[in-house]
Amino acid sequence: MLSSTIDTEAPGQKLNLDRREIVKMGLGALLTSVLPLFPTRQAWAKRSFKSWKIAFRHAHTGETFAGVYRVGDKYLPEAFERMNYVLRDFRTEEVFPMDPRILDILSLLYERLDASESYQVLSGYRSPKTNAMLRGEGTGVARNSFHMYGQAIDIRIPGQNTKIVRNTALDLRAGGVGYYPRSNFVHVDTGKVRSW
């Protein structure tokens, strides 16, 4: 078997490699430089490093968030800290961590609608106290609302027909979708696929 001696960076040290190892190293370098040319590698890279963005304004407080909240499969804690604050229960000032999946649903919905205006958020997190109060007012609030777990958001998009927003959200088949034409908003949540 042929072997070669290759100098390492440390003076006086030699590394013995046989011909197969040298060929393997060469093939590895070749594949690393060629693989990016194949569509599957490009598709993987695009999917892995895609930036997920969202922009919204809370209708009751006027506070906003606009920016990247996820890169590939990594959620950005700083973005969630700000979003959780903006989406807090504005009646009690309670901040609660929002389910990242609800933001993914909104991001995908926005992209599908090809919208240009930011979301207007009517309700994000809702404390049990607020939920009970709204339920007592007879406004059609569920006893065990997904809002109390940071898993629902009520939205509208200025300039977009609410019925189209609802239909597009239904097409995603990503969770629950409620349609409130009189109040001109759509409810989306991370529960099972259903609609009302």
Whole-prediction pTM:
0.74
Quick check: 35 pLDDT over 70? no
Mean pLDDT of 6-19: 46
Average pLDDT, the chain: 84
Quick check: 154 pLDDT over 70? yes
Q: In Å, how far from its chain's centre is CA 151?
A: 13
* Contact predicate 190/146, CB 8 Å: yes
| Lowest-confidence region among 3-7, 15-19, 109-113, 180-184 | 3-7
* Contact predicate 56/155, CB 8 Å: yes
Q: Return d(Cα 65, Cα 179) in angstroms, integer.
A: 24
36-82 pLDDT per residue, tens: 443 444 443 445 579 999 999 999 999 999 999 999 999 999 999 99
| pLDDT given for residue 21 in this prediction | 54
| Lowest-confidence region among 56-60, 85-89, 121-125, 137-141 | 137-141
| pLDDT given for residue 20 in this prediction | 57
Mean pLDDT of 88-114: 97
Instruction: Please give the CATH topology (third level) of the domain spanning 50-195.
Output: Muramoyl-pentapeptide Carboxypeptidase; domain 2 (3.30.1380)
Q: Return d(Cα 35, Cα 38) in angstroms, integer.
A: 6
Q: Return d(Cα 39, Cα 19) in angstroms, integer.
A: 32
Domain with CATH 3.30.1380.10 in the chain: 50-195
| pLDDT given for residue 49 in this prediction | 73
Mean pLDDT of 113-125: 95
Find the DSSP H helices in 15-99.
Answer: 19-34, 39-49, 77-86
Q: Return d(Cα 131, Cα 108) in angstroms, integer.
A: 27
